[in-house]
Each structure stands twice: as structure tokens, then as C-alpha cells.
Structure 1
Amino acid sequence: MSKGDKKRERPPEPEGLPAPIVDAHTHLDACGASTAAEVRKIVDRAEAAGVARVVTVADDIDSARWTVEASAWDDRVFSAVALHPTRAKDFGEAEREVLEGLVGNPRVVAVGETGLDYYWDFSPPEPQQEAFRWHIDLAKRSGKPLMIHDRDAHADILRILAEEGAPETVIFHCFSGDAEFARECVDAGYVLSFAGTATFRNANARGLREAARRVPVEQMLVETDAPFLAPHPFRGRPNEPYCVNYTLRDLAELREVDVAELAEATTTTAERVFGFPRAATS
């Protein structure tokens, strides 16, 4: 098999975890699922690896509708709805009306992903910030957690949250800051969700790994952001919810704690944050 063929393969399915965990942020539609049967296959693979529940997250209006539909197909799937900041230049009254109608669904457990992205040049900062403020208000009115996308925008994210008044629960999806920024977020009461990037071994990941080592476990989630950001040592390969198993194991080693301990702790955090019922114990 060529190196190129290997890059197109999903990572091997790992041994199941000693306690069930939650993939706090994934994109099942971008993973290739469009039907109930395709969703079930992905979530079955996740469950075999110890991933009992997933939150599938929207990035546009069609995706928002689909995530809510998919959450009705399988009890292990929950939804988050919003318009991604890179699409904010197209955010208008029609999009607001759709999201207002979807957010009250009981399978919707977060408003997200919203926030700011100054890395890509798809939407200027002004419409991004306006859309972010609207999503903050939606989260507060709906009583749902706010799930934040933050890329190269740490200072403006914190400033706008302070100006608007943060919702009761704020989740920094795919947390990308260093230990100092993590401390600011933790002190504000925010929850940090770590993806495969926190397992990377390159120099740029050192600050992020230190943040993942230090954050209090009661403010910590794990996620895939699949199909993106497959964890070490599978970086660059297609990601899927079962791969959060690898991330959880890597973070347990980094934090020098037992895998079962970290699995149980992050699941407890997810249950509190998203309002899930407690996982069944054997």
C-alpha cells in the first residue's frame, strides 16, 4: 500500500475503553453520513471503542437541519446548531429564523459552532462579530450551552463574551490556546474541549498540551471534530468519533492519570454540560 493510500484510510479501531465517554463535537454529515443507516454504522463503531454518545455539530443552515434530523434517528446522537463564523457574511434574517426554530428541539444540546475565525478569509471580522453576538443571545434565551469556534481570535472572543454577558455554560470547542489562555478561560468558568490537536507532537502543540495537562477535569471535554484533526499517530488521516478513544488515552498519559478515571470524569462533565442522563454502569 502506498503512503497516499494509507493517508486515505481511517485509523484502526482501538480496543474499547474501560468506561464510556462522549465525543463532544463531531460532524457526522462531513464524515459521509446522510441516512439513518450510515449514522448508525458510524456510531456503532464509536460505541465499540467506548464512545457512548456523540454531539454532531452544524456549520451551515442545511447542516443544522440535518443534525437535528440525525439526532432523532439514534438515541446516541445529539445535535448542536449554529452558523459557522466563516459563513457569517451570509447570515441574515432567514438564517436566524431557522435557528430560532431548531434550538428548542430537546435533542439540540448546544448553540454551535459559533465564534470567530481570523485564519480563513471567508467572512470579514465585522459580520463574524455581529453573528457571534446574536448566537450568544440565542444561547442565553434558549438555556443551551454556547459552543465556540475560536481560531486566531482569543482576545476578541473573551472581549465579546464579557461585553454581551456569557451564557451560563460556554464550551471552547477544539481548544487552541496555551496554558495562560486556558487559565483565563477556566477562571471565567468556561469548559475546554480538547481534540486530536492536543495529542500532536510538533513544537507548535507544546503550549496546547500544557493547557490540556493543567485544566481542571470538571471543566474538560474530549472531542474529535471529525472528519478533521485525527489524533497522533494518525494525523492527516480521516477522523471519526471512535478516534476520540485515542485522544482520551493520550491525555490520560499526559495528565498521569488512569484512563478509566479520565473517561469517567470527562463523561461526568459532558453529562452536566449537555444535560445528558447519566451513563449506565455495569
Structure 2
Amino acid sequence: MLIDSHCHLDFPDLQARLPEVLAHAAEAGIGRMVTISTHVARFETYRALAEAHRDVFFTVGTHPHNAAEEPDVPASRLVALSAHPRCIAIGEAGLDYHYDKSPRDVQRKVFRTHIAATRETGLPLVIHARNADEDMIEILSDEMGRGRFGAVLHCFSSGEQLAQVGVDLGLYVSFSGILTFRNSEDIRRIAAQVPRDRLLVETDAPYLAPVPYRGKTNEPAYVAHTARTLAEVIGATESEIAEITTANFYRLFSKAAAADRQAAA
């Protein structure tokens, strides 16, 4: 079984044909998917998706692009909403200095609020980091010194230093279809250096479809192609990478493991 640890099933390109998308995922051996929050205001949408489909979990949080729309959501609100049994993480939250859709100081403030919620709940944080390595390293190092928390650097496309600091701080690193792109030699080199017990795979669907679907709408089924490339990069078989990333997923997202055990009982 493979797990797509990060997708956006509520986005129009996927929601409009959700039964087909979920059927494709099942056919490809994708046993679980996590639909990721970009707005706290859309909580009911994520909740409904997860309640309707036993293979779907969800998160709660504000994407850095939308930080200016939700600048004052308190950690207590995130904590309360995350109590839902199928809400398994906080986020995605972080810093995006590539598009700068929200002021950087607001992004940093909202990110720290999410870290506070993560620390209080014990749930992991899904981190978005783009073109902000220096500030990300500073905030993560500072906040980890205030109290440890679990997290994943999702859709990793940053530099080697952030990957190393993340690993040193106990974070996981998730790779998307970017790993399969011809010009992603640096990302593949970084992936090869990440300890096997910290690796995850994802699609970030509907974006970043892997080769051979690059340029098309991405969907959870395609995570198999990223996993195949990751297996080649670290010298593992496809079955081994499925085993490794699934075990890592349930270790980080322990609430998902508990939910699955309860469902099987």
C-alpha cells in the first residue's frame, strides 16, 4: 500500500470528478490520502470529505498564501477543530516568499500560531516552505527550542541546508512529482541523503503531476510514479519504498494509525 500524504481533494479539478479520482487511487494501490487544509474557513468541506470516504483523512490550517485572509485565527481554534477523529494534523502552514501572496510578517505570525497548536495537540505540522529557507530555519530552530513538535516539510523543493536542519530537528521530508522532473537532480540528491525513516511521498494534487503525466492534472493515483523514482534514488525496490513510506506515515500521523486500528476492531 502507498499513501498520498498530501493532496487537495476539495480543489475544483479533483472535486468535480471525485468518484473517478478515488477509483483511480484504489486501482493504483493508494490506500490512504490526506486532503490538506488551505483555509480554516473551509473546515466543514474537509470534514465532510473525510467522513464520506474512509480512505481520506484531513488537516486544519491556513496556507501561507491565505495568511492575510485568516491572520488572527487563534491556536485555540485550531486545537478545538483538530479534535475531530479524522483530523490528523495541523496545517498546511509556513512561508512562501516566491509568490508573496500574504505579507511576510503575517506569514511568520500565522506560522508560529500553527506551531503553538501543534505543540498543544501533539499532532504533527504540515509545513509549506518555498524560497524562504533562512527564515524557515530560524523559526523552526527557535520554536523547537521552546518545545519539541512533529512536522513534515511537504513537497520538498528547498535547499540542502533546510533538509539537513529539518532532519536534525526530527522532521520528516516529503517528496512530490518534482522528484521525477528531468531538471530535479538537486532534489534527487537531497532525497538520497534523507534517512529512510523520515521519507514520505505525496502528490500535492491537483498540482505537480509526475512524469509521465507532467503538465496534466495530478491526482492521488500518480503518487506511485513518485514512489518509483524515490525507490530508484535510494536503492530500494518499489515494494520496499511502499513499506518504508507507509510505516513512516503512520509513525508521524499517529492519529491516523489509531483511527485505522479502531476501524479494524
TM-score (norm 1): 0.85
**1:28 is the counterpart of 2:9:** yes
Equivalence for 1:16: none
1:86 deviation in Å? 1.2
**1:118 is the counterpart of 2:118:** no
Distance 1:242 1:31, change over 3 A: farther
CA distance in structure 2 between the partners assigned to 1:274 and 1:196 by the alignment: 21
> In structure 1, the residue corresponding to 2:149 is in which secondary structure?
coil
**1:177 is the counterpart of 2:164:** no
**1:157 is the counterpart of 2:152:** no
Equivalence for 2:169: 188
1:189 deviation in Å? 1.1
CA distance in structure 2 between the partners assigned to 1:51 and 1:31 by the alignment: 21
Distance 1:178 1:157, change over 3 A: closer
1:168 deviation in Å? 2.4
> In structure 1, the residue corresponding to 2:67 is in which secondary structure?
helix
Counterparts of residues 73-112 of structure 1 (less than 5 Å): 73-93=52-72, 99-112=78-91
The unaligned stretches of length 5 or more in structure 1 are 1-19
1:207 deviation in Å? 1.3
Q: Residue deviations 1:197-225, cap 9 Å, x none?
A: 111111xx221110112211110100000
1:68 deviation in Å? 1.7
CA contact (8 A) 2:177 2:208 kept: yes
CA contact (8 A) 1:65 1:102 kept: no
**1:197 is the counterpart of 2:191:** no
- Size of the alignment, in residue pairs? 257
Instruction: Report the AA paired with residue 190 of structure 2.
Output: A
1:46 deviation in Å? 0.6
Distance 1:94 1:169, change over 3 A: closer
1:100 deviation in Å? 3.9
Within the candidate set 195, 198, 210, 1:219 is matched to 198
CA contact (8 A) 1:116 1:151 kept: yes
CA contact (8 A) 2:14 2:206 kept: no
Deviates more, 1:71-80 or 1:246-255: 246-255
CA distance in structure 2 between the partners assigned to 1:161 and 1:182 by the alignment: 12
> In structure 2, the residue corresponding to 1:109 is in which secondary structure?
strand
Equivalence for 1:277: 257
Equivalence for 2:36: 57
Deviates more, 1:260-269 or 1:207-216: 207-216
1:94 deviation in Å? 5.5
CA contact (8 A) 2:90 2:118 kept: yes
CA contact (8 A) 1:139 1:167 kept: no
CA distance in structure 2 between the partners assigned to 1:88 and 1:45 by the alignment: 33
CA contact (8 A) 2:35 2:58 kept: yes
Instruction: Report the AA paired with residue 51 of structure 1.
Output: I
CA distance in structure 2 between the partners assigned to 1:92 and 1:127 by the alignment: 7
Q: Residue deviations 1:246-270, cap 9 Å, x none?
A: 1101111222211101110100000
TM-score (norm 2): 0.90
Instruction: Report the AA paired with residue 178 of structure 2.
Output: T
Distance 1:99 1:34, change over 3 A: farther
Instruction: Report the AA paired with residue 257 of structure 2.
Output: P
Deviates more, 1:117-126 or 1:99-108: 99-108
Q: Residue deviations 1:75-120, cap 9 Å, x none?
A: 1000011011111112244676753432111101110100000011
CA distance in structure 2 between the partners assigned to 1:184 and 1:26 by the alignment: 25
CA contact (8 A) 1:23 1:244 kept: yes
Distance 1:148 1:94, change over 3 A: closer
Within the candidate set 217, 230, 249, 1:251 is matched to 230
Distance 1:184 1:112, change over 3 A: same
CA contact (8 A) 1:49 1:242 kept: yes
Percentage of pairs with the same residue = 37
Equivalence for 2:219: 240
Within the candidate set 137, 149, 155, 2:116 is matched to 137
CA distance in structure 2 between the partners assigned to 1:233 and 1:32 by the alignment: 19
The unaligned stretches of length 5 or more in structure 2 are none
